[in-house]
Structure 1
């Protein structure tokens, strides 16, 4: 290797190309090795480093110091802070606020995970709600003294970037511990979880409905309750697995079908257990109540199935904003765990028949209504 001399123009650049910026890390590593053992590097590089100028001062010797030693030294110096009493006081206050901010985020997460356990689902107040320590301020090392302190909300679904702890707690109580309980944090898909959070927290689980929407919901609830009252009074003692306490299933399903049809679905396959099936057949799928009453009275218009009335399936068509949608309620086996795979298999077969590779035209819906007087829909 030849050192760059007074060669003109491009020749001079070529002669010094080995120390260009792109080779800095490589040259630096060679120089470190040279300082440790000059004979451990190629001779041409040793000659080059030998010819570098050396500068000695009153405090340093003529021997150079490896760059790694200097880097480590400055790294240690950068971590050594000059602290005054004011700095210590300010840092202590800031650190305590940051700790409380973390606890507030944990409190919000706790409401999202376990708020449904404190939801007011029992209109008769017959059952005492379980104690959930995670939803208390003290559990997260917060207190009433922090209620007026402003903290960051996080995702901002509540319509603000920050709020006082009192506002945050009030919003969480309204969203997750009122008349709607939502258990959804077990969902693996992050986008799905955030979708549910955004829909609930934006309206505090209390959406505003137009007058006509409210009237439609009232009409559907009256229809659901009226059928249950009629069956209960006309056929007392007959097993029917009523929907009492879960009548909200009817307006919920009616709205879901309209929206799903508006998104382009052509068929909806429904699977559910016995409770609420009779109401679903009449008030959603449009089964003639006369036929249902005939089944209660043993006047079946068909024979051969031998199954009970609350296991029967049904199909019909319903008009939606996206056009006509075919609804089918799968027959219900006594082994309830079979319902969902049967519905999924039926949907898959229908997708193949329709050549629906995107999965937009077919929609499976599987759920279970539990516990009368609690209004719980799973």
Structure 2
């Protein structure tokens, strides 16, 4: 129903519409007509009192007054279900919830006298008869107390009915379980004690405490406790820095001495064998025991200060673990949980992108439980300046996720909402939101002064007792736990914290001045080296794979163009053993990995066909659109090829595939940009994770980025994948940046990602025009056994012996073919063209060995590139080549520019001709 339907209308408007409909059904909108028809049908099924007294028989006709009253009853039900959350008492800093006119007696259209009327509707309590005043009181208690349920935006009737059953079907008079209350108090006190201990012991240090939002720990612990009974085995958790230390200490049970060491003056961040990071960005893994004796794995993903950047990473990690556990249908064993701040959830676009992933086939994880620490402020920005929506959660309505808003000072309400959220996730496999409305006791960090910008709020918070204090008093008042018991629990927690400090001191004494925690969390891998990896494949196997890639089922209606051109060209190439183009080499690399038992995942925009109609890894029946994937039909026993056309997103999808690669070491994970320049839409993922995560957090990844790159005169938008930016990020052997010139090199590089023990991201500047260039082809023998990847390629098409060469032109990628053509056409015999296939890490020894073959050319080295001088590889490669040659490197390429390429085809052609010619003359 739209917002203009009955539950949004006041009684007078509703009644006027009803009168109009009675006169002429065609006079009102179709939705109104349908509503009144259903309403009268429902009401007609309920016998009148007169009929009941008469022992049955025909029901007496209902008067206009009775119908009007019953419509107002129905309207009241709908109003409370749709708007009750707006009147709920959610803010711990307020004394009561806001008054909502639509939910007052007058707003609902009732008089005081009507409160004593009997009501009976099949829409509430299964048609139970009750006084109107009792019905309204129950609706107030259900929807307008300390939890607000927002779910009427969900279009699926069965989902709404399920939620209604659980929300309205609760026993409102049931007493909370005493054990639940004691557990909740313990979880609150653990968080509170930990934060206060840090505040006393480490004065002035940032910790981004959870004080004011301690109920978030209640939500997490409730999830943990509920997991085993619902078939869950693991939680993959992502969150920003607020409350992270408390989660590490109290939820993941990271040893306190580790955490306290990170606060000490002797803390060295590279204790994890890398550059390290601040304590509130680090991740951790553990096995937790529930109170029921079950074991649950919990993994907290590391996260930078980019608050929501970890969201897609966690989703990818969760899906990889689901695959590992064989949980790819129901996806109930591994549960992704994301903890957000209110300002970030509303403000960061990545949130919407990740929500949009939630039900897509290639990215589904069975639903995510989102927990929001709603501080009602973002740094110093109030909600009215931070969002245009009523709630910070409104973005989640795009996927019809139910939202449970809860007062953070009510831990039992938080517990109930979290249980309902988890049950919803396990039942429907969809995302759900628990919005814990709380406050931030300190400023943005503990050295900040919130009173500068929010004096009233800061004053109210200073005067407000903590959540644990309020709850402890409640338990004492109800006799669940007396003051002596609470004091004993507090002493126990304080003693644990003191013991952590003592353990740290004891370790320091025994470490002889060294780092007592060196390597304790390290995940080392072999250092990068250039030892050739066996990536070649037996020629017979390649031919078999190549042939199987041409096959389709009988009576499969393959598109004629694909059959006549695409497959015919491949058939000719595989039979001749030469003319293997880029896409065919890729398929052979994928296929050979699959037949060896590895998996392959490829995702991105339009990757099944390929942006340039070059891949066609999925065939579609031209009559039925039935799909056939040759790569999944190579052998009886093989790995699985998973290829997914993604949503139109770079950041979320690349983040997802990066996360997937972290926990899927036996599977080649590739993300392809539609055009290379689109990759800058995912720059945060590249900067904060792909290029630096191994150094910061010891998280090796082998994710492969395929970025179409090259200058074809089609304007600045689709020419450059910004090679220079990747090279700027390179250090310490952190990733590989390549610009290949042959399909065979691409074949070996893809296989190398899986076949060697070292795991590094691979960034490939893939071609566009070279996909069909007649000279950009390889022989099958170049991929056969005993062939390997080569970081540098010597000139194999010299027009004179090496000793007569006086000019070395070094280049990378597509420009090689332009240089080759120019040299051949002009019969230039004194120049050699050396291709640097892998720009980083640069194999100096291989390069030195090659250039040594040309002794007369040592003083004339030219770097040729298509990109402007301030882009591409020039500024990266120049100092390295000059160090190698001891001479100044010459340049042949475009002049500096703020734009990647010219917008005119004519200008492009002039520039291209000039730069190629200058490579032989400069």
Aligned equivalents of 1:350 and 1:334: distance in 2? 25
1:267–1:137 distance in 2 versus 1, CA, 3 Å:
same
Aligned equivalents of 1:246 and 1:280: distance in 2? 12
Per the alignment, residue 135 of structure 1 pairs with: 103
1:204–1:277 distance in 2 versus 1, CA, 3 Å:
farther
Aligned equivalents of 1:160 and 1:273: distance in 2? 47
Per the alignment, residue 286 of structure 1 pairs with: 253
Aligned residue pairs total 286
Aligned equivalents of 1:227 and 1:295: distance in 2? 15
Preserved contact between residue 262 and residue 323 of structure 1 (Cα < 8 Å): no
Preserved contact between residue 110 and residue 135 of structure 1 (Cα < 8 Å): yes
1:199–1:246 distance in 2 versus 1, CA, 3 Å:
farther
Per the alignment, residue 309 of structure 1 pairs with: 279
Is 1:103 paired with 2:72? yes
Candidates 239, 242, 250, aligned match of 1:275: 242
Per the alignment, residue 163 of structure 2 pairs with: 196
Aligned equivalents of 1:113 and 1:179: distance in 2? 16
Per the alignment, residue 116 of structure 1 pairs with: 85
Is 1:357 paired with 2:328? yes
Aligned equivalents of 1:147 and 1:140: distance in 2? 12
Preserved contact between residue 114 and residue 132 of structure 2 (Cα < 8 Å): yes
Per the alignment, residue 61 of structure 1 pairs with: none
Per the alignment, residue 83 of structure 1 pairs with: none
- Residue 328 of structure 1, CA deviation: 0.8
- Residue 188 of structure 1, CA deviation: 4.4
Judge which range, 250-259 or 329-338, deviates more.
329-338
Aligned equivalents of 1:205 and 1:296: distance in 2? 47
Preserved contact between residue 175 and residue 204 of structure 1 (Cα < 8 Å): no
Alignment of 1:1-378 (within 5 A): 94-125=63-94, 129-156=97-124, 158=125, 161-203=128-170, 208-300=175-267, 302-303=269-270, 304-320=274-290, 321=292, 323-358=294-329, 359-368=331-340, 369-371=373-375, 375=408, 376-377=435-436
Aligned equivalents of 1:104 and 1:199: distance in 2? 21
Q: Secondary structure at the match of 1:365?
A: strand
Aligned equivalents of 2:66 and 2:207: distance in 1? 58
- Residue 247 of structure 1, CA deviation: 1.7
Q: What do the CA deviations read for 1:332-358 (whole angstroms, capped 9, x no partner)?
A: 233333332221111111122222222
1:362–1:236 distance in 2 versus 1, CA, 3 Å:
same
1:334–1:103 distance in 2 versus 1, CA, 3 Å:
farther
Q: Secondary structure at the match of 1:244?
A: coil
- Residue 251 of structure 1, CA deviation: 2.3
- Residue 372 of structure 1, CA deviation: 7.0
Q: What do the CA deviations read for 1:53-82 (whole angstroms, capped 9, x no partner)?
A: xxxxxxxxxxxxxxxxxxxxxxxxxxxxxx
1:213–1:155 distance in 2 versus 1, CA, 3 Å:
same
Q: TM-score, normalised by structure 1?
A: 0.67
Preserved contact between residue 89 and residue 98 of structure 2 (Cα < 8 Å): no
Preserved contact between residue 261 and residue 322 of structure 1 (Cα < 8 Å): no
Aligned equivalents of 1:159 and 1:252: distance in 2? 32
Which runs of 5 or more structure 1 residues have no equivalent in the other structure?
A: 1-89
Q: Secondary structure at the match of 1:200?
A: helix
The structure number with the bigger radius of gyration is 1
- Residue 317 of structure 1, CA deviation: 0.8
Per the alignment, residue 43 of structure 1 pairs with: none
- Residue 166 of structure 1, CA deviation: 1.0
Aligned equivalents of 1:205 and 1:372: distance in 2? 29
1:167–1:305 distance in 2 versus 1, CA, 3 Å:
farther
Aligned equivalents of 2:173 and 2:259: distance in 1? 36
Q: TM-score, normalised by structure 2?
A: 0.29
Aligned equivalents of 1:203 and 1:298: distance in 2? 53
Q: What do the CA deviations read for 1:254-310 (whole angstroms, capped 9, x no partner)?
A: 121121122122211112232222222111111122222222334446513543322
Aligned equivalents of 1:292 and 1:234: distance in 2? 12
Q: Secondary structure at the match of 2:89?
A: coil
Aligned equivalents of 2:267 and 2:166: distance in 1? 45
Q: What do the CA deviations read for 1:148-189 (whole angstroms, capped 9, x no partner)?
A: 112235444x57723222112211221222122333333444
1:146–1:265 distance in 2 versus 1, CA, 3 Å:
same
Preserved contact between residue 275 and residue 370 of structure 1 (Cα < 8 Å): no
Q: Secondary structure at the match of 2:85?
A: helix
Preserved contact between residue 246 and residue 372 of structure 1 (Cα < 8 Å): no
1:209–1:129 distance in 2 versus 1, CA, 3 Å:
closer
Greater relative contact order (Cα < 8 A, sep 6+): 1
Aligned equivalents of 2:304 and 2:206: distance in 1? 16
1:154–1:284 distance in 2 versus 1, CA, 3 Å:
farther
Aligned equivalents of 1:246 and 1:147: distance in 2? 40
